[in-house]
Structure 1
Amino acid sequence: MKIQGKMFIWLSIFILAMAILYGLWSKEPAGTTALFLAFGLSIMIGYYLAFTARRVDAMAQDDKEADVADEAGEVGFFSPHSWQPLSLAIGGAFAFLSVALGWWLLYFSLPLVLIGIWGWVFEYYRGENQNQ
Structure 2
Amino acid sequence: MRAEGWLFAVMTAFFAVTGVIYGFWAREPAGKAILTVAFLMSGLVALFWFVQHQRSGGGRAQDRKDAEIAETTGALGLFPARSGYPVLAAAGLAVFALGLVFARWLIICGAVVLALAVFGFIFQYRDHGDGGA
TM-score (norm 1): 0.48
Larger radius of gyration: 1
